[in-house]
Structure 1
Amino acid sequence: MKNIILYTLVLILFFSATGCTSGHYVATRPAPGMYSRPPRPYPNYIWVDGNYYWRGGRYVHRPGYWAAPRPHRVWAPGVWIRTPRGYYWRRGHWR
């Protein structure tokens, strides 16, 4: 019984901590990467804009790509969010 309670508490602490992220803030937004959009591979594919990823203490731009549409989903592009701490990137996602 004690082990079950202990395991339950550990799981609760683990899952409550995974929702606590600090994010990465910068004083100015980085310039978007310059690249050319390749031709659409299939008629129904949609363009997914590039995203920024935190790597080596800074945001790095990754170019966009063509993707097959997901059933009953819409692509929400990433956006820069301005806060008192600076800017952070909210990644694009399917919703």
Structure 2
Amino acid sequence: MNRRYVHRLSVLALTAAATLTLAGCVVAPPPQHAVTHIVQSPPAPLSEVIPPAPYPDSYWVAGHWKWEGNRYVWNNGHWEQARQNQVFQHAYWSNNGFEWIYHPGRWVALAPENNTQVIVANVAPPPPRVEIIGPAPTPNHVWIGGFWRWNNGQHVWVSGHWEARRDGYFYAPGHWYRSGNTWTFSGGYWQRN
């Protein structure tokens, strides 16, 4: 075989291999948060036993009802790593009078009110405590999870509780995140959507 023919075959083989490799690549579009509209009201949130946190700056993402296959299905809560200057807006259902609308959970930037004091501690908080969450009084209640409050030079546990959802707001759970050699407290208040 002559050299030119071998070179041409090599180039064609490489081009074919590259084409096949790239044909197998799929560039997925960014996830779209499909809004679900359902006539049937969701059940009240289930009771959850929150397991021990894996690390001090763990962040509990509560379980919630999701609509799948013509029925409500419970998605269990789980721990995530806290994110600096962000809070997780928990998934929830709202009612517009005719139907129930699902709002998926997502991380959002904290928007503290002007009177919110920044709390920084040199001592790491203990891991969040295990909480047993009883049934919600109504589907319109949201769980306000417990957290460690910095009080007179020490961490003091504040227990969680159910609270009625506020229209146009979501609860930014109180949590700690590492900031270099210190710990900063974020959240612990109702924030506008």
Total equivalences in the alignment: 76
Q: CA deviation at 1:52?
A: 2.5
Q: CA deviation at 1:91?
A: 1.6
> Are residue 80 (structure 1) and residue 93 (structure 2) matched?
yes
Counterparts of 1:25-44 in structure 2, within 5 Å, are: 25-44=38-57
Instruction: Give the alignment's TM-score, normalised by structure 1.
Output: 0.66
Question: With CA pairs under 8 Å and 6+ residues apart, which has the higher RCO, 1 or 2?
Answer: 1
| Unmatched segments (≥5 aa) in structure 2 | 1-31, 109-193
Counterparts of 1:1-95 in structure 2, within 5 Å, are: 23-95=36-108
- The structure richer in strand per residue is 2
Aligned to 1:11: none
Cα pair 1:51 1:63 within 8 Å, conserved = yes
Cα pair 1:51 1:91 within 8 Å, conserved = no
Cα RMSD between the aligned structures?
2.0
- The structure richer in helix per residue is 1
Q: Which runs of 4+ in 1 moved over 4 A?
A: none
Q: Which whole-Å CA distance do the structure 1 matches of 2:95 and 2:45 have between them?
A: 16
| Unmatched segments (≥5 aa) in structure 1 | 1-18
Aligned to 2:148: none
Identity of aligned residues (%): 33
